[in-house]
Structure 1
Amino acid sequence: MNAPVNNNGPIPRHRVLAKVEAANAEQYSDVLTPDALLFLADLERRFGPQRRILLDNRRLQQERFDDGEMPTQPAETLHIRNSVWEVAPCPPALQDRRVEITGPVSRKMMINALNSGAKMFMADFEDASSPTFTNMMDGQVNMRDYARGSLALETEKKSYTLNDNIATMLVRPRGWHLEERHITVDGKPMSASLCDFGLHIFHNGKILADKEEGPFYYLPKIESYQEARLWNDVFNFAQAVLDIPNGTIKSTVLIETLPAAFQMEEILYVLRNHITGLNCGRWDYIFSYIKTLRNHKAFILPDRAQVGMDRAFLSAYATRLVEICHKRRAHAMGGMAAQIPVKNDEEANQAAFDKVRKDKSREATIGHDGTWVAHPDLVPVAMDVFNDIMPSKHQIHKKRQTPRVSDEAMIAPHSGTITEAGVRTNIEVGIRYIAAWLMGRGAVPIHNLMEDAATAEISRAQIWQWLAHGASVEMEGGYRETLTRRLYDRLFDEEVKALKSELGDAYTENRFDDAAKIFTETATAQILPEFLTIPAYDLLKG
């Protein structure tokens, strides 16, 4: 293979490669090739310093929010919002996105998702995957086989192969805040974002481009247009080095942080040659809302079950996203339906599916061009709704009258109640999810919902918010009590005791003790930790 090149000629072979420090690295020799590691090292050296600056900027911005500044549209980019421009034309493979299914990058789940009948499949290295080295590298192997038409799986019970007609693949790398400790450059862990993206595009970008099937990406956890611009710089560099025509890479940005929701036009603008749309990442958005406004009692949210997309800040954000995307001729993608089929209970199963239909009808009616589901059985449910309301491939060009969404509406909190059951559910679900994550599973069915890392983040962030502001809790005995650390400890101890009783030896074997410790430390810290997955990563094995 020829040495990678950049605009200044070949990259010298004497450059130090990224170093892999994992016991099982040899089994991934087809992915971790010398040329690929050279490419990763160059990505990290070129773009890693700016990534770290942007992460520092996040912390400085959070300090301003803590001191009373509210999110707003940037004054310095008014000219972008007031000028006439559109994103680059959407390639044929991405024009019809009415139902997308998401899931981890494990082989069986990828095949099932690609065969599900959905228009798109988002293969997720981030929130739906636990970032063990094995999971991440197995995912890259699977991506490599998919691009070469050899993705299949043989088990004792069944053979899994791809159908003739499959979903279009989009890949979500990990966010800017995460690192890949098993791959270092100049002695430091490299960016997990650059690792996931770099390995994928190095091995598959040219192949997918030649077939007009990619490379396509979902970009998570962005908090500013500057962070989006860094991705655009990475895209430009990768295409030049790998001899892929500029503009071939197409991305969709998840608007799943409150600061990013005030910079949607700017994000589209800086990525305009490499973007086709924005997505309402609703669960992470709730978490970001709590985290961003953490110091302000006026923005306390009720139980998670009462925080719906049909009102308050979530409704405003979805409406503004549709308006902005269509103004700039981009796709406006709806959020996740986390429901999964309820086995052996037809009434509960029907109720779950009816809830999905109602949610997807709301999305299609306000103008979304597609939506997300987490389970193959929900693909036809969502598809029927969008086919009925949106018979065309999208509704970008459909004229509609929408009231202007104010900045005040974008932060308006939900009204509702905080209940003992809500506190207990947050504790139990948070611990269950973290334990599964520590055992290597990122997408976890809990109480008939498919949960990912955002679930645990909401759960512990709500506990933190309620404790920090002394929220009044409706107790099961019909009285109210302030959520103090003493009350939290009692409810936490009771939920842990219930889990131990239910699970027996499996409680210890499946790392529930570690999960409970991580949950309570991140839910009761004096200052709300940015992400629980960062301290949890230190305990992750494999």
Structure 2
Amino acid sequence: MDSTALDLPEGLEITAEITPEFTSVLTREALELIVSLHRKFEPVRQERLAARKERQTRLDAGEELDFLEETRAIREDDSWQVAPPAPGLEDRRVEVTGPTYRKMTINALNSGAKVWLADQEDANTPAWDSVVGGQVNLLDSLKREIDFVSEQGKEYRLRPDEELPTIVVRPRGWHMVEKHMLVDGEVVSGSLVDFALYLTTAGRLQIEKGRGPYFYLPKMESHLEARLWNDVFVHAQEALDIPRGTIRATCLIETYPAAFEMEEILYELREHSAGLNAGRWDYIFSVIKTHRSKGEDWILPDRSQVTMTVPFMRAYTELLVRTCHKRGAHAIGGMSAFIPSKDETANEKAFDQVRSDKSREAGDGFDGSWVAHPGMVDLCREMFTEVLGDQPNQIDNKREDVQVGAEQLLDVKSTPGQVTEAGLRANVSVGIQYVASWLGGNGAAAINGLMEDAATAEISRSQVWQWLHFGVILDDTGEKVTKELVDRVIEEEVAKLPGEAADWETSRKLFTEMATADEYQDFLTIPAYELLG
């Protein structure tokens, strides 16, 4: 079945195969919205992406990140607040994350979490079947018409008569495109495709239920990118005759520049805001990316040692809670990526670490947090309930004791830890394994007991690039990180992986190119996307 079977608006071309089930979400209304959004907002999206490059040029020339002088009035105006928590988002003490693959959709909705972050971004490979198939799964789940049978014959179904977690969809970031859709001959933003397909199909059902549609917005680097999203929301609500403010969005503060514009981001989205989220790997990846040209003060140790409690990460999370609660917004904590296993010793260690992490977040004032596996839902809920009790959140905990300035956010040099050969090898091995999984259609990969997503590959290749670019001396061996060392480690680590070396050739080649290039490339997923069908 090809795109000629669809009722396509004028100017829209779809170059991928259309299966019969895809027609449930590739509706005329959805496609018309994609066309109108592209025509109105694609020039603005390009301006925002150009602004990223312009800021990076200034940073490379010696400028430093700081709070914006031109938006000082917004930060100093204590009168404004974001919209009150939306229905189904009042209590977010535990949110399970995961891609919209059919089995994982069912598992997430059966997890008992308050919220499911339905991920069309970092935990999802943006192959056409996943992009559109994920939307079909979301629609089917809200109709309670979803099931799945594994190759082993195991059946997966929604638990009957149980309330489902509130669904919050994470579309792709502004930098990603959907190469299989063109409007007037131009490729369309992946963000707008994911948003429009959900809003016009499953989102309609959410509106009927009074619990949505809600979104998580990734990878933004400025409040002007948040303004673009807000304008998209207003346009879409008007076009579809949806009351203004129905759409709500939680913004991931996962880039270094965005940490200096938290209040402005909330302000731009205030009638559509559902709060902010503090991540880890993407934020660390962004620290390296924005300071790619800087020297030893910006060298980070092994990624396993860059915890949420090191000074610059602690400053970031404390400021996020303070900012959100000052403006009446939810502050959502970071990811626990641990996967329960049959190894009781490993489980005990992992559960202790997650317990400590979630207890710290709840004590710091966060209103909820993420887990990547349903097996961690109960523990996260327990840690937050110890602080929240019967209250749905702790937005009233204003954290006025927190005083964080640019100096604290920029204090990377005081991060304790070492750069080791083991850390280099871990980055290489995990990075190559994840890229292979991503290219194979699985964006949520279980590696070494952790559920990894695209942020894992980004931080892995970025650390290798940083250590190589600045000729770091490994603390445990005294050896300098050189191209020869990296090539040798890659060869040795690939040899340890299951199967034949040829099985890993494509992912090895892409990871090597990104980790050893003379010029740092902003996103690994952009060249990786070119390799997908």
TM-score (norm 1): 0.93
Q: Which amino acid aligns with 1:388?
A: E
CA distance in 1, matches of 2:8, 2:169: 31
Match of 1:286 among 284, 291, 295: 284
CA distance in 1, matches of 2:154, 2:431: 33
SS at match of 1:169: strand
CA distance in 2, matches of 1:384, 1:34: 45
- 8 Å contact 2:103–2:156 — kept in the other structure? no
Instruction: Give the deviation of 1:382 after TM superposition.
Output: 0.8
Q: Which amino acid aligns with 2:519?
A: I
Q: Which amino acid aligns with 1:43?
A: L
- 8 Å contact 1:152–1:162 — kept in the other structure? no
Match of 1:89 among 64, 67, 84: 84
Q: Show the counterpart of 2:506.
A: 514
CA distance in 1, matches of 2:44, 2:402: 38
Q: Show the counterpart of 2:339.
A: 340
Instruction: Give the deviation of 1:453 after TM superposition.
Output: 0.2
Instruction: Give the deviation of 1:369 after TM superposition.
Output: 0.4
Give CA deviations for 1:73-127 in whole Å, capped at 9, x if unaligned.
1111011001121001112311100000000001111111111011100000000
Q: Show the counterpart of 1:134.
A: 129
CA distance in 1, matches of 2:21, 2:254: 35
Give CA deviations for 1:267-292 in whole Å, capped at 9, x if unaligned.
00010000110000211111011101
Return 5+ residue gaps in structure 2 as ranges.
Answer: 1-6
Instruction: Give the deviation of 1:154 after TM superposition.
Output: 4.8
Q: 1:397 to 1:422 in 2, by over 3 A?
A: same
Correspondence 1:5-20 to 2 at 5 A? 16-20=10-14
Q: Show the counterpart of 1:523.
A: 515
Give CA deviations for 1:503-534 in whole Å, capped at 9, x if unaligned.
234x534xx11100110101111111000000
CA distance in 2, matches of 1:315, 1:31: 42
- 8 Å contact 2:144–2:158 — kept in the other structure? no
- 8 Å contact 2:359–2:383 — kept in the other structure? yes
Q: Show the counterpart of 2:466.
A: 465
CA distance in 2, matches of 1:38, 1:399: 43
Q: Show the counterpart of 2:525.
A: 533
Answering whether residue 454 of structure 2 is matched by residue 453 of structure 1, we say: yes
Match of 1:504 among 499, 503, 509: 499
Q: Which amino acid aligns with 1:386?
A: F
Mean Cα deviation higher: 529-538 or 485-494: 485-494
Q: Show the counterpart of 1:7.
A: none
Match of 1:173 among 153, 171, 174: 171
CA distance in 1, matches of 2:261, 2:515: 29
Q: Show the counterpart of 1:6.
A: none
- 8 Å contact 1:205–1:244 — kept in the other structure? no
Instruction: Give the deviation of 1:336 after TM superposition.
Output: 0.1
Answering whether residue 47 of structure 2 is matched by residue 53 of structure 1, we say: yes
Q: Which amino acid aligns with 2:87?
A: P
- 8 Å contact 2:86–2:211 — kept in the other structure? no
Give CA deviations for 1:23-48 in whole Å, capped at 9, x if unaligned.
34555122223332222111111111
Q: 1:121 to 1:76 in 2, by over 3 A?
A: same
CA distance in 2, matches of 1:120, 1:528: 36
CA distance in 1, matches of 2:166, 2:27: 27
Mean Cα deviation higher: 250-259 or 404-413: 404-413
Q: Show the counterpart of 2:118.
A: 123
Answering whether residue 351 of structure 2 is matched by residue 353 of structure 1, we say: yes
Q: Show the counterpart of 1:9.
A: none
Correspondence 1:258-407 to 2 at 5 A? 258-297=256-295, 298-343=297-342, 345-391=343-389, 392-407=391-406
Q: Show the counterpart of 2:3.
A: none
Instruction: Give the deviation of 1:162 after TM superposition.
Output: 3.8
Instruction: Give the deviation of 1:130 after TM superposition.
Output: 0.6
- 8 Å contact 1:206–1:243 — kept in the other structure? no
CA distance in 1, matches of 2:120, 2:499: 32
Correspondence 1:474-493 to 2 at 5 A? 474-475=475-476, 479-493=477-491
Q: 1:425 to 1:159 in 2, by over 3 A?
A: closer
Q: Which amino acid aligns with 2:193?
A: C
Correspondence 1:39-118 to 2 at 5 A? 39-83=33-77, 84-118=79-113
- 8 Å contact 1:206–1:242 — kept in the other structure? no
Answering whether residue 146 of structure 2 is matched by residue 151 of structure 1, we say: yes
Instruction: Give the deviation of 1:497 after TM superposition.
Output: 2.3
CA distance in 2, matches of 1:290, 1:85: 34
Q: Show the counterpart of 2:4.
A: none
TM-score (norm 2): 0.95
Coordinate RMSD, CA, aligned: 1.5
SS at match of 1:387: helix
Mean Cα deviation higher: 24-33 or 455-464: 24-33
Work out the percentage of aligned pairs sharing the same amino acid.
50
CA distance in 2, matches of 1:498, 1:28: 40
- 8 Å contact 1:19–1:37 — kept in the other structure? no
CA distance in 1, matches of 2:154, 2:93: 33
Give CA deviations for 1:412-438 in whole Å, capped at 9, x if unaligned.
121210000000110000000000000
- 8 Å contact 2:9–2:28 — kept in the other structure? no
Give CA deviations for 1:130-158 in whole Å, capped at 9, x if unaligned.
11100111111112223333233355332
SS at match of 2:16: coil
SS at match of 1:481: coil
Give CA deviations for 1:299-355 in whole Å, capped at 9, x if unaligned.
110000100001221110000000000000000000000111122x21111000100
- 8 Å contact 1:332–1:368 — kept in the other structure? yes
CA distance in 1, matches of 2:277, 2:405: 20
Q: 1:149 to 1:250 in 2, by over 3 A?
A: same
CA distance in 2, matches of 1:87, 1:201: 22
- 8 Å contact 2:275–2:330 — kept in the other structure? yes
Instruction: Give the deviation of 1:363 after TM superposition.
Output: 0.5
Give CA deviations for 1:186-216 in whole Å, capped at 9, x if unaligned.
1121000000001111123333112111000
Q: Which amino acid aligns with 2:34?
A: L
- 8 Å contact 1:206–1:244 — kept in the other structure? no
- 8 Å contact 1:443–1:451 — kept in the other structure? yes
Mean Cα deviation higher: 406-415 or 200-209: 200-209
- 8 Å contact 1:154–1:160 — kept in the other structure? no
Q: 1:26 to 1:151 in 2, by over 3 A?
A: closer
Q: 1:494 to 1:223 in 2, by over 3 A?
A: same
Q: Which amino acid aligns with 1:458?
A: I
CA distance in 2, matches of 1:170, 1:14: 28
Q: Which amino acid aligns with 2:67?
A: Q
CA distance in 2, matches of 1:279, 1:41: 30
Q: Show the counterpart of 1:161.
A: 158
Q: Which amino acid aligns with 2:134?
A: G
Mean Cα deviation higher: 392-401 or 261-270: 392-401
How many aligned residue pairs are there? 519
CA distance in 1, matches of 2:37, 2:370: 31
Mean Cα deviation higher: 117-126 or 61-70: 61-70
Q: Show the counterpart of 1:255.
A: 253
- 8 Å contact 1:129–1:442 — kept in the other structure? yes
